[in-house]
Structure 1
Amino acid sequence: MLFFTDSHCHLDFSAFDADRTALWEYCNQQGIHRLIIPGIHPEQWQKLPTLSQQYQGIFYAAGLHPWWIADALPLDEQTFKATLAAHYNNDACIAMGECGLDKNIALPLDEQLKIFHWHCQIAEALNAPLMMHCLKFHGELLSVLKHYKVRGVIHAFSGSRELARQYTDKGLLLGVGGVITWARAAKTRDAIHHTPLEFLLLETDAPDMPLAGQQGQRNSPLHIIEVATQLAQLKDISLQAVAEQCERNLDRLFFQKE
């Protein structure tokens, strides 16, 4: 059996309340043996240790998603960083994030940048990987990263071959999800085709980001195998090669705490 990890899945969201246990059991039967839940808001982090204890193979990250920054304000820098550090002491917490920048929200860029800098600073101090969200602010995100020695993944990568190279030149990994199943995503498909497999992680972002042909349906971690299959086709290699290398990539990034 091949083994897969969904490196970015919001399994804690209410969309899964009705069938979370049965779904995760079925995932395990299909070889999906691990899943990482991103942090989006301080109140949400408090629930994730319990969820990770309840379900074997489920891990989490602690971070403040740009969409939820406004709801979390005001924030004290030292308290925020201390809380992140305390969570990272939990064996089930394997990263900082989901954090980053988003051009499609009303929150001013300066406020987003301040919070992103905080994540980078604590991640660098702890040598913790970052799960990063970036929408239409890639130049700004790359400018911030010049100031830190951090490792991590660009979640839901959707961009050009050149943008992919800029990230991988920094040693960052790219999260590959359902976008590569869409024929219209030619630019991203080309970028992923030309990016070495050693820089890629599999993800679904479930319950969001449905695969092609599944518009309006709840996305599921079960679809990680379809993403992997599409990636294998894009690279003209076997599904086994994709599964094994992406597992190695994930282990290297998230499961080597110092």
Structure 2
Amino acid sequence: MASIPYIDIHTHQVDSDQEILSIINMSIGESINELDRNQAYSIGIHPWDIEKLEIDSIDIYLKEFSANKSNIAIGEIGLDKLISTDFSIQEKFFTAQLQLAKLTQKPVIIHCVKSQEELLKIKQANETGTTWIFHGYNKSLQMAKDLLKFGFFLSFGENLLKNENLQKVFREVPLDKIFLETDDKQIDIRKIYQKAAEIKGIEIDVLKEQILLNYLKCF
């Protein structure tokens, strides 16, 4: 890429667009053989998938994938109070994967639903020495401030286009602490960049340069 790329920090869509540097989220049952060998990806056990595995099988499942040079992050992993899986089991899976992140010194991409307080407690007790990225951020400004104090980066997605309250939050988050993403949405990351630059009152190239710096710092 000769020019500064658009960085999609978390996506479920494989895209060969040369202007976009994306991190593909890999889930249980998906094969990395389906990806270009140079395609960056994250791998982790999502809270929704916990019941598909026994906790003792985490090491076997994840270490195989995380050893690949194209695996640059552990995730998405985390906590979710809107699912039926016992919360204590979610915490066990989460902390086990944080140990892998610490061992491999890879950033963590976080899924968190109605569990922010528990997330912060776990971070205090399980520091990995790597970046934690809260993906799909759509919470309050106060929560954003709390996460930033704990060293989190915040990644914003499609909701930034239409949620005015979230736009106000985004305006207050420092540029050196943000990422942008498409997640599982069929949307061009350029559209999210355009809106983000508009909210911040800056040129897209300035935004692209700062997010690239954030990426290089974290990865």
Q: Same fold (TM over 0.5)?
A: yes
**Cα offsets for 1:196-235 (capped at 9, x unmatched):** 01010111013x3xxxxxxxxxx13xx1111111111111
Going from structure 1 to structure 2, the CA distance change for 1:86 and 1:73 (only over 3 Å counts) comes to closer
* Alignment correspondent of 2:191: 226
**Cα offsets for 1:24-79 (capped at 9, x unmatched):** 34x22xx22x21112332x32xx1254131xx5x2111101111111x23231xx4
Cα distance between partner residues in 1 of 2:146 and 2:79: 17
* Alignment correspondent of 1:60: 41
- Aligned equivalent of 1:112, options 90, 105, 110: 90
Going from structure 1 to structure 2, the CA distance change for 1:236 and 1:95 (only over 3 Å counts) comes to same
Work out whether 1:84 is the aligned partner of 2:49.
Answer: no
Cα distance between partner residues in 1 of 2:183 and 2:96: 24
Asked if the contact 2:77/2:111 (under 8 Å) is kept, the reply is yes
Work out whether 1:36 is the aligned partner of 2:19.
Answer: no
Cα distance between partner residues in 2 of 1:165 and 1:97: 22
Asked if the contact 2:110/2:135 (under 8 Å) is kept, the reply is yes
Asked if the contact 1:52/1:92 (under 8 Å) is kept, the reply is no
Going from structure 1 to structure 2, the CA distance change for 1:92 and 1:193 (only over 3 Å counts) comes to same
- Aligned equivalent of 2:108, options 114, 118, 130: 130
Going from structure 1 to structure 2, the CA distance change for 1:197 and 1:66 (only over 3 Å counts) comes to same
How far residue 86 of structure 1 moved from its aligned partner, in angstroms, is 3.5
Asked if the contact 1:160/1:190 (under 8 Å) is kept, the reply is no
Unaligned runs of 5+ in 1: 13-23, 209-218
Unaligned runs of 5+ in 2: none
Q: Structure 2-normalised TM-score? A: 0.91
Letter in 2 for 1:65: H
Work out whether 1:73 is the aligned partner of 2:53.
Answer: yes
Letter in 1 for 2:13: L
Percent identity (aligned): 27
How far residue 120 of structure 1 moved from its aligned partner, in angstroms, is 1.3
Asked if the contact 2:55/2:93 (under 8 Å) is kept, the reply is no
The CA RMSD measured in Å over matched residues stands at 1.7
Name the SS for the 1:96 alignment partner: strand
* Alignment correspondent of 2:143: 163
Name the SS for the 1:188 alignment partner: helix
Deviates more, 1:2-11 or 1:191-200: 2-11
Letter in 2 for 1:36: I
Cα distance between partner residues in 2 of 1:177 and 1:52: 24
Cα distance between partner residues in 2 of 1:227 and 1:101: 26
Cα distance between partner residues in 2 of 1:59 and 1:39: 10
Q: Structure 1-normalised TM-score? A: 0.78
Work out whether 1:48 is the aligned partner of 2:32.
Answer: yes
Cα distance between partner residues in 2 of 1:37 and 1:62: 9
Cα distance between partner residues in 1 of 2:81 and 2:166: 19
Asked if the contact 1:159/1:187 (under 8 Å) is kept, the reply is no
How many residues align? The count is: 215
**Cα offsets for 1:162-181 (capped at 9, x unmatched):** 11112122222111111110
Name the SS for the 2:85 alignment partner: coil
